[in-house]
Chain A
Amino acid sequence: MSSIERSLNVKAKPARKRSFLSALVSDYQLWLMILPAIIVIFIFNYIPMYGVQLAFRDFDFTKGITGGKWAGLKYFKQFFNSPMFWPTIVNTFRVAASSIIFGFPAPILLALILHQLRNQRIKEGLQTVVYMPHFISTVVMVAMINIMLSPRTGLVSNLLKSIGLVQPDTNLLGSTKTFVPVYVLTEIWQHCGWNSIIYFAALSTVDQELYDACKIDGANRLQTIRHIEIPALVPTIVILLILNMGNVLNVGFEKVFLMQNSLNLPVSEVISTYVYKIGLISNQFSFGSAVGLFNTLVNFVFLILTNVIAKRLADISLW
Chain B
Amino acid sequence: MPKKNKEAVKYSLADNIFEFFIIIFCIFVFIIVAYPLYFIVIASFSDSTYVNQGLVILTPKGFSTYGYGKIFEDTRIWTGYKNTLIYTLGGTAINLLFTLPGAYALAYKRFKARKYIMRAFVFTMFFNGGLIPTYMLIRNLRMVDTMWVMMIPFCVNVYNLIITRTFFEHTIPDELYEAAIIDGCTHFKFFTTVVLPLSKAIISVIFLYYMVGHWNNFFTALIYLNKDNLQPLQIVLRNILLSNQVFMEGAGMGGEAGGYAQRYADQVKYGVILVSTLPILCLYPFIQKYFEEGIMIGAIKG
Which listed residue, B97, B126, B234, B295, touches A299 by the CB 8 Å rule? B126
Nearest CB of chain B from residue A225's CB, rounded to whole Å: 9
Interface centre among A29, A218, A292, A300 (most CB of B within 10 A): A29
* B193 interface residue per 8 A CB criterion: no
* A26 interface residue per 8 A CB criterion: yes
Given A132-B281, A299-B126, A113 contacting B117 (CB threshold 8 A): no
Separation of A47 and B140 alpha carbons in the complex (Å): 12
* B207 interface residue per 8 A CB criterion: no
Name the residue of chain B whose CB is nearest to the CB of A159.
B54
* A73 interface residue per 8 A CB criterion: no
Separation of A27 and B241 alpha carbons in the complex (Å): 52
| Set of chain A residues within 8 Å of B105, measured between Cβ atoms | 30-31, 33-34
A155 touches B54 (CB 8 A): yes
A51 touches B136 (CB 8 A): yes
B25 touches A146 (CB 8 A): no
Nearest CB of chain B from residue A177's CB, rounded to whole Å: 22
| Set of chain B residues within 8 Å of A153, measured between Cβ atoms | 51-54
* B253 interface residue per 8 A CB criterion: no
A30 touches B52 (CB 8 A): no
B99 touches A293 (CB 8 A): no
Count of B residues near A, CB < 8 Å?
Answer: 99
* B14 interface residue per 8 A CB criterion: yes
B299 touches A198 (CB 8 A): yes
* B77 interface residue per 8 A CB criterion: no
Given A34-B101, A40-B98, A143-B242, A275 contacting B131 (CB threshold 8 A): yes
B133 touches A51 (CB 8 A): yes
Separation of A138 and B7 alpha carbons in the complex (Å): 52
Separation of A129 and B179 alpha carbons in the complex (Å): 44
Given A33-B105, A128-B285, A40 contacting B155 (CB threshold 8 A): yes
* B248 interface residue per 8 A CB criterion: no
Separation of A47 and B271 alpha carbons in the complex (Å): 43
Q: Contacting chain B: which of A84-92, A97-105, A199-207, A308-316? A: A199-207
Which listed residue, B22, B40, B178, touches A113 by the CB 8 Å rule? B22
* B181 interface residue per 8 A CB criterion: yes
| Set of chain A residues within 8 Å of B130, measured between Cβ atoms | 48, 52, 275, 289, 292-293, 295-296
Which listed residue, A26, A31, A37, touches B156 by the CB 8 Å rule? A37
A126 touches B30 (CB 8 A): yes
| In the complex, per-residue mask of A131-154: 1 if CB is within 8 Å of any chain B CB, else 0 | 111011111101110111000110
| Set of chain B residues within 8 Å of A285, measured between Cβ atoms | 132, 136
Separation of A8 and B131 alpha carbons in the complex (Å): 52
| Set of chain A residues within 8 Å of B37, measured between Cβ atoms | 132-133
Name the residue of chain B whose CB is nearest to the CB of A299.
B126
Separation of A213 and B241 alpha carbons in the complex (Å): 56
B126 touches A49 (CB 8 A): no
Separation of A79 and B140 alpha carbons in the complex (Å): 27
* B247 interface residue per 8 A CB criterion: no
Separation of A40 and B99 alpha carbons in the complex (Å): 10
**3 closest cross-chain pairs (CB), A and B:** A48-B129, A292-B130, A51-B133
User: Can you list 22 A-B pairs, Cβ within 8 angstroms, ordered by A?
Assistant: A26-B187, A37-B102, A48-B129, A51-B133, A132-B37, A137-B234, A138-B234, A140-B276, A147-B270, A152-B52, A153-B54, A198-B299, A202-B300, A205-B296, A220-B11, A222-B14, A280-B132, A288-B131, A292-B130, A292-B132, A296-B128, A296-B130
Q: A34-B106, A51-B129 are in contact. List 17 more A-B contacts (CB 8 A).
A: A4-B175, A26-B181, A33-B191, A47-B137, A51-B136, A117-B23, A128-B285, A135-B280, A142-B241, A153-B51, A153-B54, A198-B300, A200-B292, A289-B130, A292-B130, A295-B130, A300-B126
> A: which residues have CB within 8 A of B?
1, 4, 7-8, 11, 23, 26-27, 29-31, 33-34, 36-38, 40-41, 43-52, 54, 64-65, 110, 113-114, 116-118, 122, 126, 128-133, 135-140, 142-144, 146-148, 152-153, 155-156, 158, 189, 193, 197-198, 200-202, 204-205, 218, 220-222, 236, 246, 253-254, 258, 272, 275-276, 279-280, 285, 288-289, 292-293, 295-296, 299-300, 303
